[in-house]
């Protein structure tokens, strides 16, 4: 019998960060998954690194150091595995490497188009293609506005294949008081669709007694 608490039994998820605005969503998701002892295989596109620099102030000239500054313990323990986007031979590029699925957050329209059309020209899109072909969960968090017909057609094509499309649309019914609360809401919605428990936002009805 497999020991469910052993490292070999830990859940594995791939997380992709692309060049759309909202890199903080991807980083916050990684933090929460790691907090739940889920192994994260992280891949970041070239444009994604640019957004990390512009929006979060990361020193992307020294990428390994930037990652280590944020996730030192997790990298050391092997719970966070970083894969360069050019490494098409990485574990997550193969269907024989067992994973729960993949989240691309944020997902640019360019990456979404590549995934929708099977154009696996880098590790990020290849890993997404693997999730599709293996019947695993694939969640995309697009962040673009306005959307034209090609964007919408690509999303529809993927949705018909079972891909979860979760646009970065924060809610206001719970009266968020900070940017962090709005970020946590979106990350929580992603985790809902990953079937993972969390307490990142107050659900509708949580503070109502039914009267």
**CA atoms of 48 and 71, how far apart (whole Å):** 17
Share of the chain above pLDDT 70, in %: 93
Given this model, what pLDDT does residue 2 score? 35
The predicted model gives 121-132 an average pLDDT of: 98
For residue 17, give the H/E element and its range. strand 12-17
Is the predicted pLDDT of residue 62 greater than 70, yes or no?
yes
Contacts of 45 (CB under 8 A, 6+ apart): 16, 17, 18, 19, 85, 108, 111, 122, 124
Is the predicted pLDDT of residue 154 greater than 60, yes or no?
yes
Given this model, what pLDDT does residue 10 score? 79
Is the predicted pLDDT of residue 176 greater than 80, yes or no?
yes
Report the first-to-last Cα separation within the chain, whole angstroms: 49
For residue 72, give the H/E element and its range. helix 63-77
Q: Domains of the chain by range and CATH?
A: 8-193 (3.40.50.1950)
Q: How confident is the model at residue 210 (pLDDT cuts 50, 70, 90)?
A: very low
Given this model, what pLDDT does residue 8 score? 45
The predicted model gives 177-202 an average pLDDT of: 95
Is the predicted pLDDT of residue 69 greater than 60, yes or no?
yes
- Note the residue count of the chain: 211
Give the position of tokens 């957004």: 51
pLDDT digits (tens, 9 = 90+) for 20-43: 999 999 999 999 999 999 999 999
């Amino acid at each position: 019998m497999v020991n469910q608490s052993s490292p070999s039994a830990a859940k594995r998820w791939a997380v992709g960060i692309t060049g759309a605005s909202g890199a903080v969503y991807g980083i916050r998701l990684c933090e929460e998954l790691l907090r739940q002892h889920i192994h994260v295989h992280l891949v970041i596109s070239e444009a994604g690194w640019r957004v990390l620099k512009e929006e979060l102030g990361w020193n992307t000239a020294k990428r390994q150091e930037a990652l280590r500054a944020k996730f030192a313990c997790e990298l050391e323990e092997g719970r966070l595995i970083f894969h360069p986007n050019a490494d098409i031979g990485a574990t997550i590029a193969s269907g024989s490497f067992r994973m729960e699925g993949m989240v691309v957050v944020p997902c640019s329209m360019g990456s979404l188009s590549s995934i929708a059309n099977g154009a696996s020209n880098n590790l990020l899109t290849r890993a997404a293609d693997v999730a599709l072909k293996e019947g695993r969960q694939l969640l995309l968090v697009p962040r673009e506005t306005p959307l034209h017909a090609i964007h919408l057609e690509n999303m529809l094509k993927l949705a018909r294949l079972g891909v979860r499309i979760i646009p970065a649309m924060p809610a206001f019914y719970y009266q968020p008081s900070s940017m962090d609360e709005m970020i946590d809401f979106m990350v929580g919605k992603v985790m809902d669709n990953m079937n993972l428990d969390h307490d990142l936002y107050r659900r509708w009805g949580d503070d109502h007694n039914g009267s």
